[in-house]
Amino acid sequence: MKKLIGLTLLSAAIAGCATSPTGRNQFMLVSPQSAIVESEKAYASTMVELDKESKLITDPAWVKRISTITGRLVTEAVKMEPSTKSWKWSVGIIDDPQTLNAWCMAGGRMAIYSGIVTQLKLTDDEIAQIMGHEISHALANHTAERMSRAVAMNAGLMATAVITDNNGLAMTGTAMAAKLALELPNSRTAESEADRIGIELATRAGYKPEAAVSLWNKMKQAGGSGGPQFLSTHPSPDNRATTLGKLGEDMMKLNPTLKKAPVTPVEIITNADQLM
């Protein structure tokens, strides 16, 4: 039985290899399409709750600003990965002055919190950098990769349950996989990969690459360093700013005049009915 489980997990791992846009080998047990389907469900559920709490911003100034910036980024994202043209690109602007966050799920479902814009006094260029970073997670299939890690972790628990004949542990493992699929953070490698792809997206869309440095400097000042890098799931703001600063000169070669990209229509989610 132990050999059978080991061979099954090994076969799954071999079958689940993929390559990221930067050429990195990825461990994939969950397909990108499955990640998109599950993300769409989670996104709808999240937006429904936010709508009930009247947390979705509808102010025209916010809507125009965010839709324009993300629309230009999406134009470049589709050029980089043409298959994403069919994604349901959308953004929920969340009224939460205390939260410094933004994210993009598999399939182009995005959100940005008002707190990160207002507390850090972000410029359009800095918003482009952070949303470019989040979009890059989706382009690089990091959601599917994260879910795959959860499945692998759960498979280990399931194997232990079979070996020890512990049905309770098996049930715990199944529940844990579902939980981890939503809660596991991206790896440091995935974060660095998204930084690299994101600064390129933003520059091609017409936004200053040096804004990536000022963004992470602001994050550091807001208390986002989180201690030494080896103790953190993500690279520290110091290291990110240094790395991104070195990329700036090469990025400018991609769009020397910082010509603004056309705006691809991106749906701003102002009420949950839009997702029904």
Distance CA 148, CA 142 (A): 10
Q: Is 87 helix (H, G, I), strand (E, B) or coil?
A: coil
Domain residues of the chain, as ranges?
2-28+144-180, 32-143+185-275
| Secondary element (H or E) of residue 163 | helix 142-164
Per-residue model confidence as pLDDT tens digits over 15-63 = 455 665 656 666 666 777 888 888 888 899 899 999 999 999 999 999 9
Residues of the chain with pLDDT under 50: 1-15, 157-179, 181-182, 224-233
Given this model, what pLDDT does residue 82 score?
96
140 and 119 Cβ atoms separated by less than 8 Å: no
The reply to whether 134 belongs to the active site is yes
Per residue in 242-259, pLDDT (tens digit) is: 888 989 889 999 999 999
Q: What is the pLDDT of residue 18?
A: 64
Collapsing DSSP to helix, strand or coil, 111 comes out as: strand
Catalytic residue among 38, 76, 134, 200: 134
* Residue in this structure with the two tokens 């470049």, named with its chain if needed: 76
Alpha helix (H) residue ranges in 165-274: 167-183, 188-204, 211-221, 237-252
Rounded to whole angstroms, how far apart are CA atoms 130 and 114?
13
Spatial separation of the C-alpha atoms in residues 217 and 1, rounded to whole Å: 53
DSSP states along 114-137: HHHHHHTT--HHHHHHHHHHHHHH
**Distance between CA 13 and CA 31 in Å, rounded?**
13
